[in-house]
Each structure stands twice: as C-alpha cells, then as structure tokens.
C-alpha cells in the first residue's frame, strides 16, 4: 500500500517538475533576447524637452522618510542633465505634507480629500483623485507625461535620459523600465534581501510583456504614461489591490499593441525590510490578480491562471522535494558516515567521494551501490531517478541563475558593499536557494487558499475587500 502511494505521489510530482522545463526554456529565451534592450544605453542629451510630472503616491510623505530621498533624486538627476521642464507631484492623504515640502521648487502637494468618493479603493482612489486634479488644471493633454513612483523610488540620470528618449522617439503612450533593489539592502532581513533577487531577473520577462501586450502584469512604479491616455483610462476599477494590472490591460484594449513599450530607464528601490512585509507584499499581488481575473477575456484569464498555478505549485513542489530528499538521501548520508568511521578512514578525498555519492548516486556508482546495500532505508523513488535528474538539471540551473543575475543587478547599484561582501552574498544565495524558493512561493500558496476559502464561506461580499497593507519603508 505504501509503495503504491509513493508511486502515485512521485508521478504527480514528476509531472509538475517536467512542466517547469518549457517554462525554463521560455525564461532563457526572453533573457537572451531582451538583455540588450533591458537597460537603455544609447543615451544623449537632446534639448527638445517634454513636460514630465513625477508622481509619488503615498499615504504620508512626512511619516515615510524615503519619499524625501526620492524627491531629491529627481531634482539632482534633472540638474545634472540640465532638464527643467518637470514637476513633482506628491499625492498624499497627510495634510502635514503641504507644510513640509512647500519650500521645494517645482513640487506640488495633492492632498486627497477625505470626502472624495469614487469607485476605486486604496491606492487606485488616490490615483484617480490625481487624474481629476490634473484635469481641472488642463494638464491631461498629450503635452504632459506622468511618471509613476512608489514611496521608496529613486531616480538616476540614466532613468531621466531614458524617459526623454522614449518620449522624443514617439514609440508609444505608456512604457516601463527595470527596477532594481539596492537601497537599504544592508539593513533589510538577509533572507528577504536575497529573495528580492528574483524580481530584477523577472523584469526580462516584463520587456516581452510590454513589447507584446497585453501584459499579464505591470509595475505600478517606473511607469511612464501620457497624461491624456491616463485620463481616458482612469483608475476606477472597483475592488482590486492590483490596479496596475487592470490599467495595463485597459491601455492595450483601448490603444492596441503599439501603445505599450519599454523605455529601459532603471529605477532604484528597496527590498521588504522584514519577513512579514515580504509575505504581505506578495500576498497582495496574488489577491489583486484573483480579484481581477474574471474581468479579462478567456485567453488572458487562462494565462494568468497558469501563472498563478505555477506560483502556487512552486511552494508544494519545494516542500515535497525537501521531504523526498530527506527521506531518500539523508539515510544514505548517515550510512556513508557510519561506514567511514567503522573503517577508521579519515582520508579527506575518500570522505568527499562518499558524501558526494550520498546526494548524487550517479557520481560514484560503486560507492553508491555499497551504501545502498548496507543502508536499511528504502529508497522512496519507485523508478530510477538518474535519467530524470539529468532532464531536470536545466530548469534547476535556470532557477539558480535567475537569483544570481538578479542579485548581481541589485548589488551593482549598491555602493556600500565591497567586492568581497558581494561574492559572499552570491554564495549565500546558492546555499539558501531552497529556503528562498519556499519563502517566495508560500505567500501565493497561502493567498490562493485564503481567497477561495473566504469566497466559499461567503465572507467576500460586494463591498468588502482586503486591506492594502503598506510595508515598512
């Protein structure tokens, strides 16, 4: 009975593991294809400046200290390239922000009225208020561009030059660029900082999403939109925590494929500073997608569902793989150590061969056979895993590579770490890869179960929604 159960469970897991192979190939193709346009490099200052409104949407710029850092990053970058035709808009719910930032040139405070009522909730409500505010001022025309930023967003010279180039070349009405996470890296929880490595690598996929719309997802920051287009689409999407995802699809629906693009300007941000913030941030993404999914046509809904299912199954696979690995290889490792001690063999080379063959049986077949004969444990795997292991090497390597490339991009813009520290962090990312994978996928696993459990129990009703959790900055 146990052997039959093991066989069925193994086949189910094997099916999922093999499903990662085409995804890994697609990931590799997009990385190779997009690496040259990922970051815009062909930049020069040409003085035919459009008007860009840098919009930072926050609950309170006074209480959230990093907003001021972002404001001065815009000012410094603009000064360095001699760009003056810009404005900074702080969309806030805090009245104190008016006093705090009144002395900053080209900076306006848009205070969202408490009495303001619209179909949108949370951040989308503030975004819609800003659209209507600009409409009254006559700024919702094709002459104005809105660059959306989060609380912690930090603009560089390269960011600004890339935006100006995109607008100058008239490539579309909305575009995005890569986001990296070097800020406050050294004070964040080590695991959440390393886990954030996967996000810059994910931006290689974002290039394809934006250049071949409709996008399955879209960043709410590092988003450049022509003001009249944002006015037409608006942010009145009802109950959703992923307004940017809906906004991207509505842009495509209204303006077509050529409307969206990739400007390639880097925006610097920071990882979640603790485990709870990391979890709540990912949970919000998943809940937002689940709230949106029925608003899309069938094929788009199918692709989002597949992506969410992969995210969900990633956690199950990680946990199951860990259990199977322990059940199969730890007894073999214990037996190998026992054999070496009984033989009084302390040759480092022999030890390394025995230990290595415990985890990779095909590396030293004779030693593995000897360990298997002595070991009292029963191999969990009902069929030979050797050939299968070889097939699964590629997606596993791509997964490890995604963290290494993303971490490299994050650390490249962190000036506080010496080379030696960066090398250590890359080694740590490999060593903790399984933990990072579980940390990254657990929020999706939890959120999907939570959402459908609440829905089944009729807890989610028309006017109820999940709180928009604001992470610590």
Q: For residue range 252-289, list pLDDT tens digits in order.
A: 999 999 999 999 999 999 999 999 999 999 999 999 99
For 167-184, the pLDDT digits (tens) are 999 999 999 999 999 999
pLDDT of residue 469: 73
Same domain, residue pair 140 and 239? yes
The order of strands in the sheet holding 144-149 is 107-111, 86-92, 51-57, 144-149, 223-226, 174-176, 260-262
Same domain, residue pair 52 and 19? no
Same domain, residue pair 23 and 45? no
Summary mean pLDDT of the chain: 86
pLDDT of residue 345: 67
Instruction: Provide the pLDDT confidence category of residue 54 given band limits of 50, 70 and 90.
Output: very high
Please report, for residues 31, 248, 319, the alpha-carbon distance to residue 308 in angstroms, rounded to integers and kept in the order given: 21, 18, 18
Q: Which are the contacts of 230, defined by CB distance < 8 A and separation ≥ 6?
A: 131, 140, 146
Among residues 220, 249, 273, the one where a domain terminates is 273
**Separation of first and last alpha carbons in the chain:** 53
255 within domain boundaries: yes
Distance CA 384, CA 364 (A): 15
DSSP bridge pairs for 145: 52, 226
Same domain, residue pair 394 and 444? yes
Same domain, residue pair 21 and 47? no
Same domain, residue pair 226 and 329? no
Geometric angle at alpha carbon 43, from 41 and 44, rounded to 5°: 160
Range of the domain at 50: 39-273
Q: Which residues of 224-236 are buried (b: 16+ CB within 10 A; e: fewer)?
A: bbbbbbbbebbbe
Closest CA to 470 of 151, 98, 182: 151
Please report, for residues 255, 276, 472, the alpha-carbon distance to residue 64 in angstroms, rounded to integers and kept in the order given: 36, 18, 9
Taking a C-beta distance cutoff of 8 angstroms, is the pair 51, 85 a contact?
yes
Distance CA 460, CA 186 (A): 39
For 302-360, the pLDDT digits (tens) are 999 989 988 888 888 777 777 666 666 666 666 666 676 767 766 677 666 666 665 56
236 within domain boundaries: yes
The answer, yes or no, to whether the previous bond of 214 is cis (omega within 30 of 0) is yes
Half-sphere exposure of 249 (CA within 13 A, CB side): 18
290 within domain boundaries: no
The structural domain count of the chain equals 2
383 within domain boundaries: yes
Taking a C-beta distance cutoff of 8 angstroms, is the pair 443, 279 a contact?
yes
DSSP bridge pairs for 90: 56, 109
CATH number at residue 43: 3.90.550.10
Instruction: Provide the pLDDT confidence category of residue 124 given band limits of 50, 70 and 90.
Output: very high
Over residues 174-196, mean pLDDT: 96
């Amino acid at each position: 009975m146990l052997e039959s159960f093991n066989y069925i469970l193994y086949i189910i897991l094997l099916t999922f593991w093999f499903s990662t192979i085409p995804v890994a190939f697609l990931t590799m193709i997009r990385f190779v294809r997009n690496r040259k346009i990922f970051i815009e490099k062909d930049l020069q200052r040409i003085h035919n400046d459009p008007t860009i409104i840098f919009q930072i949407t926050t609950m309170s710029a006074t209480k959230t200290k990093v907003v001021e850092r972002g404001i001065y990053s815009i000012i410094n970058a603009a000064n360095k390239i001699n760009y003056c035709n810009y404005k900074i808009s702080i969309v806030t719910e805090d009245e104190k922000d008016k006093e705090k930032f009144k002395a900053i040139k080209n900076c306006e405070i848009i205070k969202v009225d408490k009495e303001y009522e619209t179909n949108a909730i949370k951040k989308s409500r503030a975004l819609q208020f800003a659209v209507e505010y600009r409409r009254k001022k006559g700024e919702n025309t094709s002459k104005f561009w809105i660059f959306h930023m989060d609380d912690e967003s930090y603009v560089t010279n390269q960011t600004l030059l890339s935006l100006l180039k995109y607008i100058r070349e008239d490539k579309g009405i909305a575009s995005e660029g890569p986001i990296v996470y070097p800020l406050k890296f050294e004070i964040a929880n080590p695991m959440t900082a390393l886990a954030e490595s996967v996000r810059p690598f994910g931006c290689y996929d974002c290039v394809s999403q934006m250049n071949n719309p409709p996008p399955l997802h879209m960043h709410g920051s590092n988003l450049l939109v022509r003001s009249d287009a944002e006015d037409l689409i608006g942010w009145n999407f009802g109950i959703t925590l992923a307004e940017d995802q809906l906004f991207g699809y509505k842009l495509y629906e209204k303006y077509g494929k050529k409307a969206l693009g990739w400007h390639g300007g880097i925006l610097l941000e920071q990882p979640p500073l603790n485990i709870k913030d990391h979890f709540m941030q990912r949970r919000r993404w998943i809940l937002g997608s689940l709230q949106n999914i029925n608003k899309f046509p069938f094929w788009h809904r199918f692709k989002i569902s597949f992506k969410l299912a992969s995210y969900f199954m990633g956690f199950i696979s990680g946990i199951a793989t860990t259990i199977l690995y322990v059940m199969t290889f730890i007894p073999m490792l214990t037996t190998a150590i026992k054999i070496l001690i009984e033989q009084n063999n302390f040759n480092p080379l022999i030890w390394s061969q025995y230990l290595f063959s415990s985890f990779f049986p095909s590396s030293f077949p004779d030693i593995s056979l000897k360990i298997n004969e002595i070991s009292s444990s029963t191999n969990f795997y009902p069929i030979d895993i050797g050939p299968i292991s070889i097939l699964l090497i590629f997606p596993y390597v791509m997964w490890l590579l995604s963290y290494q490339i993303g971490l490299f991009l994050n650390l490249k813009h962190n000036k506080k770490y010496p080379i030696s520290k960066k090398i250590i962090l890359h080694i740590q990312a490999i060593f903790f890869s399984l933990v990072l994978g579980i940390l990254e996928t657990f929020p999706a696993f939890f959120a999907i179960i939570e959402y459908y459990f609440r829905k089944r129990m009729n807890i989610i009703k028309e006017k109820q929604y999940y709180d928009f959790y604001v992470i610590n900055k």
